[in-house]
């Protein structure tokens, strides 16, 4: 399915004050998987709401006054910028406090920050961005472990609307159990739009809420899916998000399958505070995840991924 809807331009960081948070009301909360909810928020100031632009893969800093800030990917379709979705796992101070909020309450949001998935640059340019082959000929393969799919949902929704942009779009998603597969209610719509969706779990027989003895999908890890995916390596671009060890293994396997390291992109997660490259908390080798990433070409960070606990 294709559409001629024009894409909003990505954010221009120089247009705004990156330190300034803006109030945003929670208009909807959806339970996803255990411990994970999606919060749809709308900026309360109309001027901020109208001006806000982001590109898939970028993140916001969600601020709960008196508690702190957390970096959270924007997981909604940028064609509907009036409401922004953030899918959050309650793990620490901010995210647990967030899990106690209800619809109608407000949080503070600043952003967007970070590098996007390399889709924009290839939308209309034959040359594209470095590392991505001519768009209509290319195969885009999303590889997501667990909550990593949240950082990719915005890009997937965009390509579901504009499927003709690439020759092939594939989503490989893995979780420990069937109940941990994120956005399960959306897979049928993604498939109907022409996106291939392949799922894998480590343990199909779990007794968690989504667990099922009737699991029909694959059993193993995300590497199981990537190993057997028919791939035109010369035309494939791999976009991966998940735990570091998984991403390192995906990078290696993709390269072993013939995909150029420059066309493998990984989105890193690190604790961060300022989000603009000043505090150094998210430093990863010579890179700052907040401003040089979170999306990096594998060839640039492979050597640092090999260093434990960096
Ligand atoms: C670019 C980027 C995008 C991100 N996108 C998302 C997103 O879309 N959704 C989301 O939920 N998170 C996302 N994160 C991660 C999120 O920013 C962190 O989990 C953040 O630290 C949570 O803030 P907090 O104050 O709740 O936790 P803190 O109080 O800072 O505590 C974090 C502590 O929790 C523990 N912890 C962290 N992660 C886990 C885990 N998975 N399981 C168990 N314990 C853990 C660790 O001990 C860590 O020190 C993203 C991070 C980055 C850098």
Per-residue pLDDT reduced to its tens digit, 114-157: 999 988 644 333 344 455 556 677 899 999 999 999 999 999 99
Pick the CATH number of 120-267 from 1.10.1740.10, 3.40.50.80, 3.40.50.1820, 3.30.70.600: 3.40.50.80
Place of tokens 């609307």: 161
Tokens of 138: 């290319």
For the chain, the residue count is 310
Kindly report, as residue ranges, where domains of CATH 3.40.50.80 are found in the chain. 120-267
Taking the centre of ligand 1 as the mean of its atom positions, its distance from the CA of residue 93, in whole angstroms, is: 9
User: For the residues 1-20, what does the mean pLDDT come to?
Assistant: 54
> Of the candidates 103, 104, 86, which has an alpha carbon nearest to the alpha carbon of residue 95?
86
Residues in contact with ligand 1 (CB, 6 Å cut-off) = 59, 68, 70-73, 87-89, 91-96, 114, 147, 150-151, 269-272, 289, 294
Tokens of 4: 């001629």
Least confidently predicted of 94-98, 131-135, 245-249, 305-309: 131-135
* 239 has pLDDT over 70: yes
Percent of the chain with pLDDT over 90: 68
Task: Name the residue with the closest Cα to ligand 1, atom 33.
Answer: 92
Taking the centre of ligand 1 as the mean of its atom positions, its distance from the CA of residue 163, in whole angstroms, is: 32
pLDDT band at 32 (very low <50, low <70, confident <90, very high): very high
Taking the centre of ligand 1 as the mean of its atom positions, its distance from the CA of residue 272, in whole angstroms, is: 9
Task: Name the residue with the closest Cα to ligand 1, atom 47.
Answer: 92
Taking the centre of ligand 1 as the mean of its atom positions, its distance from the CA of residue 92, in whole angstroms, is: 7
**Do 250 and 231 touch, CB atoms closer than 8 A?**
no
Kindly tell me the burial class for residue 84, based on how many C-beta atoms sit within 10 Å of its own C-beta (0-12, 13-18, 19 or more): buried
Q: DSSP secondary structure string, 197-229?
A: EEEEES-TT--STT--TT--SEES-HHHHHHHS
pLDDT tens digits, residue range 44-60?
999 999 999 999 999 99
User: For the residues 219-223, what does the mean pLDDT come to?
Assistant: 95
Q: Which residues contact 46 (CB under 8 A, 6 or more apart)?
A: none
Q: Ligand 1: which of 60, 72, 240 to mutate, judged by most atoms within 8 Å of the beta carbon?
A: 72
- What pLDDT, on the 0 to 100 scale, is given for residue 11? 47
- What pLDDT, on the 0 to 100 scale, is given for residue 10? 46
The secondary structure of the chain in percent helix, strand, coil, rounded to multiples of 5, reads 30, 30, 45
Give the number of the atom of ligand 1 that is nearest the alpha carbon of residue 272: 53
The three-class DSSP label of residue 247 is helix
Kindly report, as residue ranges, where domains of CATH 2.40.30.10 are found in the chain. 13-113
User: For the residues 8-27, what does the mean pLDDT come to?
Assistant: 74
Task: Name the residue with the closest Cα to ligand 1, atom 38.
Answer: 91
- What pLDDT, on the 0 to 100 scale, is given for residue 276? 86
How far is Cα of residue 183 from the mean position of the Cα atoms in its chain?
12
Taking the centre of ligand 1 as the mean of its atom positions, its distance from the CA of residue 168, in whole angstroms, is: 32
Task: Name the residue with the closest Cα to ligand 1, atom 7.
Answer: 72
- What pLDDT, on the 0 to 100 scale, is given for residue 190? 98
Taking the centre of ligand 1 as the mean of its atom positions, its distance from the CA of residue 96, in whole angstroms, is: 10
Total Cβ atoms within 10 A of residue 101: 15
pLDDT band at 208 (very low <50, low <70, confident <90, very high): low
| Residue 212: φ, ψ to 5° | -155, 135
Q: Ligand 1: which of 92, 146, 244 to mutate, judged by most atoms within 8 Å of the beta carbon?
A: 92
Taking the centre of ligand 1 as the mean of its atom positions, its distance from the CA of residue 35, in whole angstroms, is: 13
Task: Name the residue with the closest Cα to ligand 1, atom 42.
Answer: 91
pLDDT band at 303 (very low <50, low <70, confident <90, very high): confident
pLDDT tens digits, residue range 72-129?
999 999 999 899 999 999 999 999 999 999 999 999 999 999 999 988 644 333 344 4
Please calculate the CA angle 182-188-191 and round it to the nearest 5 degrees: 105
CA dist., res. 120 & res. 214, Å (int): 40
Pick the CATH number of 13-113 from 3.30.420.40, 2.170.150.20, 3.40.50.300, 2.40.30.10: 2.40.30.10
pTM of the full structure: 0.89
Q: Which residues contact 2 (CB under 8 A, 6 or more apart)?
A: 162, 163, 164, 165
Query: Where are any strands of DSSP class E within 49-195?
Result: 59-64, 68-73, 84-89, 106-113, 139-145, 168-175
CA dist., res. 226 & res. 218, Å (int): 12
């Amino acid at each position: 399915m294709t559409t001629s809807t024009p894409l909003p331009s990505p954010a221009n960081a120089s247009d705004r004050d990156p330190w300034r948070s803006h109030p945003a009301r929670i208009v909807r909360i959806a339970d996803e998987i255990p411990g994970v909810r999606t919060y749809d928020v709308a900026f309360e100031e109309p001027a901020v709401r109208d001006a806000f632009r982001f590109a898939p893969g970028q993140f916001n800093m969600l601020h709960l006054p008196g508690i702190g800030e957390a970096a959270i990917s924007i997981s909604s379709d940028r064609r509907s910028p009036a409401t922004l979705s953030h899918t959050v796992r309650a793990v620490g101070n901010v995210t647990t406090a967030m899990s106690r909020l209800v619809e109608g309450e407000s949080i503070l949001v600043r952003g967007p920050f970070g590098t996007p998935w390399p889709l924009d640059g290839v939308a209309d340019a034959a040359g594209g961005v470095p590392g991505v082959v001519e768009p209509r000929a290319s195969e885009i393969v999303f590889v997501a472990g667990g909550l990593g799919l949240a950082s990719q949902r915005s890009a997937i929704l965009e390509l579901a609307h504009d499927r003709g942009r690439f020759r092939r779009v594939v989503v490989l998603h893995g979780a420990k159990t069937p109940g941990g597969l994120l956005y399960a209610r959306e897979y049928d719509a993604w498939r109907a739009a022409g996106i291939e969706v392949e799922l894998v779990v480590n343990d199909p027989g779990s007794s968690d809420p989504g667990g099922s003895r009737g699991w029909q999908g694959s059993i193993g890890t995300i590497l199981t899916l990537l190993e057997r995916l028919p791939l035109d390596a010369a035309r494939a671009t791999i976009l991966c998000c998940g735990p570091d060890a998984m991403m390192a293994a995906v990078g290696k396997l993709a390269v072993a399958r013939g995909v150029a390291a420059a066309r493998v992109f990984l989105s890193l997660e690190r604790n961060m505070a300022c989000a603009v490259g000043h505090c150094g908390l998210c430093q990863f080798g010579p890179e700052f995840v907040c401003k040089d990433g979170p999306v990096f070409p594998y060839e640039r960070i492979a050597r640092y991924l090999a260093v434990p606990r960096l």
